[in-house]
Amino acid sequence: MILTDSSYAKKITCIKYTFLAIALSIMTGCKNNAVSEMEFKAYINNPENGLIQKKEIEGTQVSLTFIPGEIFLQQELQNHSDWSSIAVDSIRTIYANRLCFALDLSKDNREIEASFINNRNAYNQVLQYLNREIGEQIKLIMPSDTLPVTGSVYPRMFNTTNHSRIILIFDTRKVKLDEDFKIEITDSQLGLGVVSFPFKMDNLKAIPSLKLLDEN
């Protein structure tokens, strides 16, 4: 499958919502050493592996988790089991040029917006902030370059979870991502101030391969 400019743009839009679907479920090497999906997610969610970080700031729990592209590729394969190897490689390339993170925010074991529920104006402002503005205040910072968020998705969960989640997508096509970096949040609405989460490239490189459906 060869992606034209128009089909590529449509695919990117589709990918943003695939990011959302997988990132909502994720929190519950070499091919010969590939691990199962359950093992893969357990590895990502183990704090000792440096891919999930948590902080508490003024009573607000803030968590940032790196989500590897293989998770999204796996979902694509589940939805398109008839894809050829060429099509799979094309999609693999798209995901290889993106970094995705799940930002979770919680207060009093509830979604962050729930703490503003008694003030309708403040509540609506927070919803708008999470849906549109917070991505503009987040950057990926390397020693040699800085990347803005190129896409974010905020799903309303309507109190069905104990946290709010924003999916953050960074386009890395124009940089050589071989250095340690940090994700810096400069919050202006939730009382967090400036929050940084450092990530080591060695930890990203150490992630085991996921056994994909087309490899079974």
pLDDT in tens, 206-215: 999 888 765 5
Q: Does residue 17 carry a pLDDT above 60?
A: no
Tokens of 111: 């979604």
pLDDT of residue 27: 38
Per the rule left: phi > 0, alpha: psi between -120 and 50, beta: everything else, 161 is beta
Predicted confidence band of residue 26 (pLDDT cuts 50, 70, 90)? very low
pTM to 2 decimal places: 0.78
Mean local confidence (pLDDT), 106-117: 92
Q: Does residue 63 carry a pLDDT above 50?
A: yes
Match 């104006």 to its residue by tokens. 121
Please count the structural domains in the chain.
Answer: 1
pLDDT of residue 213: 60
Predicted confidence band of residue 159 (pLDDT cuts 50, 70, 90)? low
Mean local confidence (pLDDT), 84-104: 81
Report the residue count for the chain.
216
Question: Do 123 and 130 form a contact (C-beta atoms < 8 A)?
Answer: no
The residue among 174, 216, 214 whose CA lies nearest residue 91 is: 214
The residue among 208, 215, 214, 211 whose CA lies nearest residue 29 is: 208
130 is in which domain, residue-wise?
Answer: 5-215
Q: Does residue 50 carry a pLDDT above 90?
A: yes
What tens digit of pLDDT does each residue of 171-204 get?
A: 998 888 889 999 999 998 999 999 999 999 999 9
Q: How far is it, in rounded angstroms, from Cα 11 to Cα 3?
A: 9
Match 């529920």 to its residue by tokens. 117
Share of the chain above pLDDT 70, in %: 80
pLDDT of residue 185: 96
